Amino acid sequence: MTDKVKQTEKGIGIGKILLVVFMVFIITPLLIVGIIYYTNDSFKMEANKILVNLPGPVGEYFKTYPTKNELDTQKISVAKYLVGIDNNRAIDKLILIKNEDEVLYNEIIKLMIKLDANKTKAIMDQIRKNLVKKDILLRTVEQIDIEKEKEIMDKAKYFESLSYITAIKEIEASINNNEIGYTELGKIFENMKKENAAFLLRYMDKNISRKIIDKFSFDEKKRDIKVLLSTMEDRELKLRYAAEIYSTESPEKLVSIIGNTQTYKVDELAFIYKNIGIIKGAQVLARLNDDDFVHELVNEIKEKEILLNRKDFITEDILKAYKIYRDFDKNVDELTSIYEKMGDEQIAMLIKRMIRNTSSSKKYSLSNGETISISDEDLALTILDKFSERKLASVLSNLDNNLASDITKKLSLPQ
């Protein structure tokens, strides 16, 4: 068994040696000869003289290759032809040769110089000028492309530096005045941050927005923008649903939900207040003690209005209603403070007089057609609602049963 293993190992060793010998003495020389054959024309010609004598198809194949004498004859023929034709035609043909085979071009030029040095010099001078012109043209085209790209990027940065309202106004005006095309706008928007691009496209004219997106060159950027637009629309729909629910809640309850930025961001609150109703929104804002928040929110609502409708239709009414309810609440607080220092019987008499006052309510008209109506009864009920349960019960006990019952019912109703 051991002898067989040794014989096997010996056979493998001999096989490796034969393979190495084959590679070194046969394959490697053939590779070297092949490289020289295809890179050295003189060697190739000499080799062809021998290879044409090979028997069969191989010899026939190499017989199709022209000999050195035949090649030289062809080159001389081409040189004579080029010297004999019009310079412009000769230049066109020489440029084609130069682009394909620089070595062949130089050989033909040398032959042409021998045939007609002056004409060849004139041809070569013109070729050099043409090549220089071509280089200048290419450089000019490249420079123009670079400048156009920079101009696109500068415009993208410029629009991003503007407020959204101003940017949209300028873009739409440029389109309407034929100062800019959709193809250029597509490139400009592709060079913006995708969040900025999506926001502008969301609040632009729908037809303009669609045409700009259609001109995007990159499918990935187009897809990203469409995803962002869908996300924005979904969020606005959810905020609209939330506003519908909040419109049924009392202002006191809403203060903790939409009277700060703990639940919603300012831009989201602006959308809610736009849809919750001017009067309800003003009632909530009037109960806040944060003028900075109110001003920031109203400015955001104003921007949203202009973006969506190109004009602000509601902030003037919101501010007017806000002032009305804020003054009313301030008046209530002052009267409540005074009444709490009075006797319960005296308070009951004043409340009775206010509720049974038949004079007309004070009315405030808003631009949207709504009216805010505040009566003495509203004032009385709001003051009573400020009292503690014990104080309220004591005041009601000093009223007749029917009036006390009526007041109790009204206080229990949602405002």
Position 43 scores a pLDDT of 53
Residue 289 lies in a domain: yes
Number of domains in the chain: 5
Residue 15 lies in a domain: no
Same domain? 338 vs 392: yes
Position 244 scores a pLDDT of 95
Those residues with Cβ within 8 angstroms of residue 32's Cβ, 6 or more apart along the chain or in another chain: none
Asked if pLDDT for residue 289 goes beyond 80, the answer is yes
- For residue 224, give the H/E element and its range: helix 219-246
Q: What's the chain's length in residues? A: 415
Position 47 scores a pLDDT of 54
- Pick from 322, 345, 370: which residue ends a domain? 322
- Pick from 276, 296, 322: which residue ends a domain? 322
More confident residue, 36 or 115: 115
Q: Measuring CA to CA, which residue among 212, 168, 171, 158 is closest to residue 190?
A: 212
| Tens-place pLDDT, residues 310-367 | 899 899 999 999 999 999 999 999 999 998 888 989 999 999 888 888 777 889 999 9
Same domain? 97 vs 79: yes
Same domain? 343 vs 395: yes
| Tens-place pLDDT, residues 3-50 | 544 455 555 556 566 555 555 555 555 555 455 545 555 555 555 555
Residue 189 lies in a domain: yes
Same domain? 178 vs 202: yes
pTM equals 0.63
End-to-end CA distance of the chain: 107
Same domain? 247 vs 302: yes
Residue 217 lies in a domain: yes
Asked if pLDDT for residue 226 goes beyond 90, the answer is yes
Position 138 scores a pLDDT of 78
- Pick from 235, 267, 292: which residue ends a domain? 235
DSSP string, 337-360: HHHTTS-HHHHHHHHHHHHT--SP
Lowest mean pLDDT across 64-68, 167-171, 212-216: 64-68
Asked if pLDDT for residue 59 goes beyond 60, the answer is no
Secondary structure (H, E, C), 98-162: HHHCHHHHHHHHHHHHHHCHHHHHHHHHHHHHHHHHHHHHHHHHHHHHHHHHHHHHHHHHHHHHC
Same domain? 91 vs 44: no
Position 60 scores a pLDDT of 47
Secondary structure (H, E, C), 4-50: HHHHHHHHHHHHHHHHHHHHHHHHHHHHHHHHHHHHCHHHHHHHHHH
Asked if pLDDT for residue 67 goes beyond 70, the answer is no
Same domain? 73 vs 116: yes
Asked if pLDDT for residue 172 goes beyond 90, the answer is yes
Asked if pLDDT for residue 65 goes beyond 60, the answer is no
Residue 146 lies in a domain: no
Position 57 scores a pLDDT of 56
Residue 79 pLDDT class (50, 70, 90 cuts) = confident
Same domain? 317 vs 251: yes
Residue 344 lies in domain: 325-412
Asked if pLDDT for residue 105 goes beyond 90, the answer is no
Asked if pLDDT for residue 235 goes beyond 60, the answer is yes
Position 46 scores a pLDDT of 55
Secondary structure (H, E, C), 301-324: HHHHHHHHHCCCCCHHHHHHHHHH
Which amino acid, 368? N
Residue 10 lies in a domain: no
More confident residue, 280 or 42: 280
Residue 148 lies in a domain: no
Same domain? 267 vs 214: no
**Mean pLDDT across 126-151:** 82
